[in-house]
Structure 1
Amino acid sequence: MELKELLFVAIKSAYNGGQEIMEIYDSEFAVELKDDNSPLTEADKRAHLAIMDGLMNTKIPVLSEEGKSIPFEERSAWANMWIVDPLDGTKEFVKRNGEFTVNIALVNEGNPIIGVIYVPVTKVMYFGMKGLGSYKVENYSELDGAPTIDILLEAGIELPMDQDERPFTIVGSRSHMSPETEAFINDAKEEYGEIELISKGSSLKLCMVAEGVADAYPRFAPTMEWDTAAGQGIVNAMGGQVIDQSTHKSMVYNRENLLNNWFLVTK
């Protein structure tokens, strides 16, 4: 498959995963705890199955939060791989605040070259591809299945969007604020004077930088590869960067340790 075809498969798979999530979201759902005590719902499981069904025909292996036990010896041989989080922001889902996403990335030799993030509650689809740029499509579900990428591009808004003059804006996690992040914010105040803070859940923080709504997203707290790969694919495609604070280079994926280092996203 060509890269555009793979992008289209990822977009459709993310939407289908989102549809499964909304069926559970609109019902009385049960919550169980994973081994690390983070919540898991029927929505995670059903979205995972829908996405795996969509990506299966690409013949590209998948690393997913719901299938993360693949040995490094096996996946280290993968030149191309999908990295999937079927429901990013399960805590936001449980709180019913709408700030959760479906994340799908295509990674080539450690670098995200396609990123797709779907927001089921608002029906907003973000996507980016190396060489194509990044786009935001509102009301994705009204596009009647969006039969071609060209229709999506026509319906979408290219990122970053034009912004009115505003203060330097930092986006942070609604659920995690470390002392190091607070120090970054204080340093920004000294450099830029007035600053604005936006709090968002899940991978929407990376989308805010890609949109141009925020200038920086410092994440000095734990995340996993599937939390960030899709967002980085979108940020990279619009010309931004996600810098690993340990290597001071662009963050790479399919590492032996799937826990990310601290990172900084800028546009």
Structure 2
Amino acid sequence: MELKNNYLDIALQACFKASEAVMNIYKKDDFGVQWKVDDSPLTKADLEAHNIIKMELSQTGLPILSEEGRDIPFEERKSWETLWIVDPIDGTKEFIKRSGEFTINIALVTRKNPVLGVVYAPALGIIYWNDCYQNAYKLQNVYSNADFNAAVDTANVLPLKKAHHNYIIATSKSHLSEKTKDFIKQKSENTKVEILAKGSSLKMCMVAEGAVDCYPRLGTTMEWDTAAAHAICLSAKKNIRNYTTNLELSYNKETLKNDWFLAK
């Protein structure tokens, strides 16, 4: 399937429109927090962002797989060659803590491969994106669509020149498994290691940027947690591979849970 040039524009518009609603809720005292069956939090912002993004992406006519959407059986999904995979808010725990380290993730996946991604951290004013099969970019001080349009021509192409000397490993602020601790310990035996804890998909984007050397995720993630940042990593010549088989992660699988992976 030929990918249309305006898909990136549509994804960006969806992201910025959703971010307005998200930030309005972020500034209030009541997030309307609920708890899902897996004990992960859900806020009014997740639901508002989901509805806005779904409406914006629907103009493409492509199916949408969203964390906050209905549970779509594989029998229905398996015929989807190209689809959107969305996480309306990745890092809801960081949203609730008001750390700012949450993102809106929108990915376009075709033939199980992520080809386009937008990852926006509206509270931090940081946005990462890629154009299909080509370059990956980063912009800072972007708090609105107007900010983006004014500065897009000055965006940094990723990866940036590496400025650190030690081996930097990104870890999750909320999900640090024992296996990840073992990975860090083993790496530290022969290398001077620094740890950088970050929330949400920012960790994978920092791999694309070259700000960290790797991000091991030896615990549970879902496809919507990784698809957008994965597309950005690929355009920055980085990989997100199965920790055991070394195969690149794939999407729209029968089970939407990712295998353990290493982004580097």
Amino acid at match of 1:182: K
Deviation at 1:146, TM superposition (A): 4.8
Aligned to 1:214: 212
CA distance in 1, matches of 2:223, 2:151: 27
Unaligned stretches of 5+ in structure 2? none
1:22 matched to 2:23? The reply is yes
Matches within 5 A, 1:154-169: 154-169=153-168
User: Aligned pair in 2 of structure 1 residues 168, 161: CA closer, same or farther (>3 Å)?
Assistant: same
Aligned to 1:91: 93
Aligned to 2:179: 180
**1:196 equivalent among 194, 197, 200:** 194
Percent of pairs with identical residues: 42
Deviation at 1:191, TM superposition (A): 3.0
Q: Deviations over 1:44-103 (max 9, x none)?
A: 011111111110101110000011411111111000000000000111111111110000
Aligned to 2:130: 128
Q: TM-score, normalization: structure 2?
A: 0.94
Matches within 5 A, 1:27-106: 27-29=28-30, 30-106=32-108
Mean Cα displacement is larger for which, 212-221 or 247-256?
Answer: 247-256
Unaligned stretches of 5+ in structure 1? none
Instruction: Report if aligned partners of 1:129, 1:233 keep a CA contact under 8 Å in 2.
Output: no
Aligned length: 262
Aligned to 1:248: 246
**1:236 equivalent among 234, 237, 257:** 234
RMSD: 1.6
Amino acid at match of 1:32: Q
CA distance in 2, matches of 1:165, 1:259: 33
Deviation at 1:170, TM superposition (A): 0.3
Instruction: Report if aligned partners of 1:127, 1:136 keep a CA contact under 8 Å in 2.
Output: yes
Deviation at 1:140, TM superposition (A): 2.6
3-state SS of 1:140 partner = coil
3-state SS of 1:257 partner = coil
Instruction: Report if aligned partners of 1:135, 1:156 keep a CA contact under 8 Å in 2.
Output: yes
Runs of 4+ in structure 1 deviating by more than 6 angstroms, as ranges, are: none
Aligned to 2:116: 114
Q: TM-score, normalization: structure 1?
A: 0.93
